[in-house]
Structure 1
Amino acid sequence: MATLRERKTYREQVMKALYEATEGNRLLGVTGAKLHDALGIDPQDLAAACAYLAGEGLITADWAAGNTPAMVTLTHQGIRLMEAEEERERG
């Protein structure tokens, strides 16, 4: 089982990967398989990160058999969060 720090890192990685892959467009999504390949996160940890982020209203996830995210999309709230973070990083 992942530690709290690892779980937070996985969530941040998922958000960043989604934001970059979709260029902040709510109409675009990323497959769970693509996220898994890009991030190398254990499938159970990826599913847990997606479930958490969906619960927070930052993403939506369509689920395949075995609690695997089939398609993941940023919500408006998720895009706003990532845009604010991008602005902070740019100073």
Structure 2
Amino acid sequence: MATLQERKTHRRAILEALYGAVEANRPDVSGATLGDDLALPEADLAAACAYLAGEGLVAVEWTSHKTPARATLTHEGIRLMEAEEEERGG
């Protein structure tokens, strides 16, 4: 079981990866790619995606095994990431 800090780190990494995909004109990312690129175990990836989906920040297509097949930022997710980028002076 991941610690609270690890769970927050996983969620942040997913948001940043999906935002990078949006910036590169790739509207969604496969769950396998997210897991591989971020080196996240399947259970941690699924838990983080479920949390972010519950917050309305990402949309997830789930496999029959309850793992993310594809994920994309929602409009709210993009707005959040853009606001954070502006705060950093980007």
Give TM-score scaled by structure 1 length. 0.92
Q: Does 1:80 align with 2:79?
A: yes
Aligned residues: 90
Secondary structure in 2 matching 1:90: coil
Q: What's the C-alpha RMSD, in Å, of the aligned pairs? A: 1.6
- Runs (4 or more) in structure 1 with deviation over 2 Å come to none
CA–CA distance in 1 between the matches of 2:12 and 2:82? 14
Query: Which runs of 5 or more residues in structure 1 are unaligned?
Result: none
Superposed, which structure 2 residues align to 1:1-91 within 5 Å? 1-23=1-23, 28-90=27-89
Identity of counterpart residues, as a percentage? 60
CA offsets, 1:23-82, max 9 Å, x none?
A: 186x81100011011100111000000000000000000000211100101100000000
Query: Which runs of 5 or more residues in structure 2 are unaligned?
Result: none
